Amino acid sequence: MSARSNSFNLLAAATALAIAAASGSAFAAGRVDLSSLNVDGSQQFGRFLVKYRSGSAPRGDVASFNKAIAGAASATSSRLGGGNRAVQLKRLRRTASGADVVLSNRALSRDEAAALMRQLAADPAVESVSNDIRMVPYFTPNDTNFSQQFGFGTGNGGIRATTAWDVTKGAGTVVAVIDTGITNHSDLNANVIAGYDFISGDPAGEGLPPGGFFVANDGDGRDANPADPGDWFVNDQCGPQSGSSNSSWHGTHVAGTVAAVTNNAKGVAGTAHAAKLVPVRVLGKCGGYGSDISDAIIWASGGTVPGVPANPNPADVINMSLGSRSPTECPQIYKDAIVGAAARGTIVVVAAGNSDRDALTATNTAGQVLGYTMTNCGTVISVGSVTSTGARSSFSNYGAGVDVAAPGSNILSTYNSGTQAPGAEAYASNSGTSMAAPHVAGVAALVQSVAPTPLTQEQMRTLLKNTARAFPVSPGTKPIGAGIVNAAAAVAAVQGTNPGAQTYSNGTDANIPDNNTTGVSTSITVSGRTGNAPSNAQVAVSIVHTYQGDLIVDLIAPDGSVYNLHSRTGAGTDNINQTYTVNLSSEALNGTWKLRASDRDAQDTGRIDSWSITF
């Protein structure tokens, strides 16, 4: 059952293609997307998206379509010299967007693929041609397990979910996890409802590139079984120099962060643990194709996909912890799927990526400014990653395209013990923006479960940004959004209530100049609150110094008002570790608060170690 009627939510996934034909080409400029051959590190190609114009014979008739692509293949073969370089094409299926997936009989080099794409686009009936790009999970494995989930709490890196749970646990909402599928797990099963496996390939060529590209790995095509059979691969199985990897169980880990069964005396908790999970499988060995992902977005949000039964549980929120492995433009087929999902009432949450680059302005190998799909798909809510201290995770993509941040380093969640095929259920800690995004998807479900009227995509983005908690450690020149998502504040805001006292911290050391009246200040920024501070605000101060009597310590309000906390008392006592009660009832909560410490005598020195304000 969904929190909104006839509207459900799915996170957008897109693989990227930059629509840029070679200048001066004799073929239809703008219809062939050659840049889509440069985005995922592949050296071999064999799966393409060909869209014929509405009203054309190939668009309406399979026989005409097959004849058209056979002609293009024959012409390309002639240009390549024939023989073992001959190319044959086979139609696999039509996507929900109207493009057809076309497979070649052999792996093509980049130059061969470009020649074929140009030949296909030479037909005036063709609207667009692109490489069917593969997406990959956005996570970094980490074998270290932690005994607690810092991400849900009130510490520097936490999202304050424990406070929000006093109000809602997400009951009545549905979250679709578009990922590798899901494994059997006693800490998930009670919250999992019907999903779908969208991975398609050529049954005759499954396991052989390029038709299947080793992706499906379950021995069949699309079906109603989203179980994860494992996505391990051996050396060079995903292309030259692709290395090898054990199964990731990525979808199982992501699903646990969203909605693991909670308060059951075992395992882990989930962000929205009363929500239901719809597993949607699009990633297998070597990743997943955009043609499958775009269909999955449409289906999960309640749209229609040819040949696939309707989704009985359209999602209120969709999580997509996947994206392009390198900079690429978000193509129209994916933008359309995402916009359609939002129009059906979906909230689309995506991982920002793990390349430590600007998610909107990173350039590809050709120097084109493209950014990373899916952050660059426009209407999505993009999530960066923070550590347990609230600092930006070193791997997290950043920039103006990132909306908010959430915990993504060393996140403990549900897992599986198998190295290839599924084994026993397990728990493990992983890192990546893949782990950050499901925290935000879970918070969106909490919000929708109590919203008087379900929020739209843009309303949700605005709410999450406005109620985000200031970073306790500044991300500096690599911004990752408005702050750390704050479940308690977001839930309170949508209800029109006060979230109660919250603690804001700064743990960055600041050396205090010796014998200097100016001193040093460190700041905390508060946002997403309403009204004034209370008359009993708590200011906790930790200063390391060898002579208290040298120090003057002040709290400075956003409007510049000064509240003295310590004024040269304590004589030769070391350090200040004290909590002060301050009447701040005349001060607005929102704004930048500062702690200033000055040393008014020579010799003894020290530093501001940390401080916090609770109101």
Residue 178 CA to residue 338 CA, distance in Å, equals: 13
Predicted confidence at residue 573, as pLDDT, reads 86
Nearest C-alpha neighbor of 319 from the set 173, 419, 101, 131: 173
8 Å CB contact between 286 and 233: yes
Residue 258 CA to residue 253 CA, distance in Å, equals: 9
Tell me, what DSSP letter sits at residue 588? B
3-class SS string, 332-381:
HHHHHHHHHHHHCCCEEEEECCCCCCECCCCECCCCCECCCCCHHHCCCE
Which residues are bridge partners to 556 per DSSP? 562, 594
Phi, psi at 92, each rounded to 5°: -95, -55
The better pLDDT of the pair 345, 328 is held by 345
Residues 202 and 152 grouped into a single domain: yes
CATH number of the domain that 537 lies in?
Answer: 2.60.120.260
**Does residue 23 lie in a domain region?**
no
Residue 579 CA to residue 541 CA, distance in Å, equals: 6
CATH number of the domain that 178 lies in?
Answer: 3.40.50.200
Residues 443 and 519 grouped into a single domain: no
Could you tell me the pLDDT band of residue 151, with boundaries at 50, 70 and 90? confident
Which of 179, 202, 295, 554 is flagged as catalytic? Answer: 179
Establish how many alpha carbons lie within 13 A of residue 61's alpha carbon, considering only the half-sphere containing its beta carbon: 8
Predicted confidence at residue 502, as pLDDT, reads 84
Residue 498 has pLDDT above 70, yes or no: no
- One-letter identity of residue 614: T
pLDDT tens digits, one per residue of 243-301? 888 999 999 999 999 999 988 888 899 999 999 999 999 999 888 888 999 999 999 99
Tokens linked to 159: 């999202």
Residue 226 has pLDDT above 50, yes or no: yes
**Does residue 27 lie in a domain region?**
no
Sheet with 425-431: list strands edge to edge. Answer: 140-141, 425-431, 411-416
How many structural domains are present in the chain?
3
Signed CA dihedral, 455, 351, 1, 95: sign only: positive
Average pLDDT value for residue range 384-406: 96
Could you tell me the pLDDT band of residue 91, with boundaries at 50, 70 and 90? very high
Which of 250, 253, 273, 439 is flagged as catalytic? Answer: 250
Residue 377 CA to residue 164 CA, distance in Å, equals: 30
Predicted confidence at residue 572, as pLDDT, reads 79
The better pLDDT of the pair 327, 213 is held by 327
Cβ-based burial of 548 (10 A; exposed 0-12, middle 13-18, buried ≥19): buried
User: Going by C-beta distance under 8 Å and a sequence separation of 6 or more, which residues neighbour residue 179?
Assistant: 137, 250, 251, 254, 255, 279, 280, 281, 282, 283, 319, 320, 321, 322
- One-letter identity of residue 83: G
Domain edge (last residue) among 132, 150, 169: 132
> Is 545 annotated in the active site?
no
On average, the pLDDT of the chain sits at 86
> Is 434 annotated in the active site?
yes
pTM above 0.85, yes or no: no
Which of 434, 449, 527, 610 is flagged as catalytic? Answer: 434
Residue 152 has pLDDT above 80, yes or no: no
Residues 198 and 277 grouped into a single domain: yes
Residues 489 and 507 grouped into a single domain: no
The better pLDDT of the pair 183, 500 is held by 183
Long-range pairs of 229-234 with CB within 8 A, sequence gap ≥ 24? 229/181, 229/284, 229/421, 229/422, 230/418, 230/420, 230/421, 230/422, 231/180, 231/283, 231/284, 231/285, 231/286, 232/285, 232/419, 232/420, 233/285, 233/286
**Does residue 1 lie in a domain region?**
no
- One-letter identity of residue 316: D
Predicted confidence at residue 45, as pLDDT, reads 87
pLDDT tens digits, one per residue of 202-213? 555 444 444 444
**Does residue 311 lie in a domain region?**
yes
Residues 488 and 507 grouped into a single domain: no
Residues 559 and 460 grouped into a single domain: no
**Does residue 236 lie in a domain region?**
yes
Residue 402 has pLDDT above 90, yes or no: yes
**Does residue 11 lie in a domain region?**
no
pLDDT tens digits, one per residue of 30-46? 488 887 787 655 667 88
Predicted confidence at residue 143, as pLDDT, reads 31
What's the distance, CA 29 to chain centroid?
A: 33
Strands 174-179 and 317-320: parallel
8 Å CB contact between 40 and 322: no
Predicted confidence at residue 144, as pLDDT, reads 36
Residue 554 CA to residue 551 CA, distance in Å, equals: 10
8 Å CB contact between 73 and 87: yes
Residues 173 and 295 grouped into a single domain: yes
Residue 529 CA to residue 432 CA, distance in Å, equals: 29
Domain edge (last residue) among 471, 495, 519: 495
Predicted confidence at residue 528, as pLDDT, reads 73
Predicted confidence at residue 211, as pLDDT, reads 42
**Does residue 19 lie in a domain region?**
no
Predicted confidence at residue 20, as pLDDT, reads 27
Residues 115 and 143 grouped into a single domain: no
Tokens linked to 72: 């293009």
Residues 206 and 296 grouped into a single domain: yes
- One-letter identity of residue 144: T
Predicted confidence at residue 141, as pLDDT, reads 43
Residue 224 has pLDDT above 50, yes or no: yes
Phi-psi region for residue 31, left (φ > 0), alpha (ψ -120 to 50) or beta?
alpha
For residue 459, give its domain range. 136-495
Tokens linked to 178: 């578009």
Residues 222 and 242 grouped into a single domain: yes
- One-letter identity of residue 317: V
Could you tell me the pLDDT band of residue 310, with boundaries at 50, 70 and 90? very high
Tokens linked to 438: 């499901």
> Is 179 annotated in the active site?
yes
Residue 591 has pLDDT above 80, yes or no: yes
8 Å CB contact between 581 and 538: yes
Phi-psi region for residue 85, left (φ > 0), alpha (ψ -120 to 50) or beta?
alpha
Domain edge (last residue) among 74, 98, 132: 132
Residue 472 CA to residue 95 CA, distance in Å, equals: 45
Residues 460 and 413 grouped into a single domain: yes
Which residues are bridge partners to 278 per DSSP? 176
**Does residue 10 lie in a domain region?**
no
8 Å CB contact between 255 and 177: yes
Predicted confidence at residue 486, as pLDDT, reads 94
Average pLDDT value for residue range 340-365: 94
- One-letter identity of residue 280: V
The better pLDDT of the pair 310, 212 is held by 310
CATH number of the domain that 97 lies in?
Answer: 3.30.70
* 175-179, 364-368, 437-441, 528-532: least confidently modelled range: 528-532
Share of the chain above pLDDT 90, in %: 60
8 Å CB contact between 231 and 285: yes
Residues 319 and 383 grouped into a single domain: yes
Predicted confidence at residue 30, as pLDDT, reads 43
Predicted confidence at residue 535, as pLDDT, reads 86
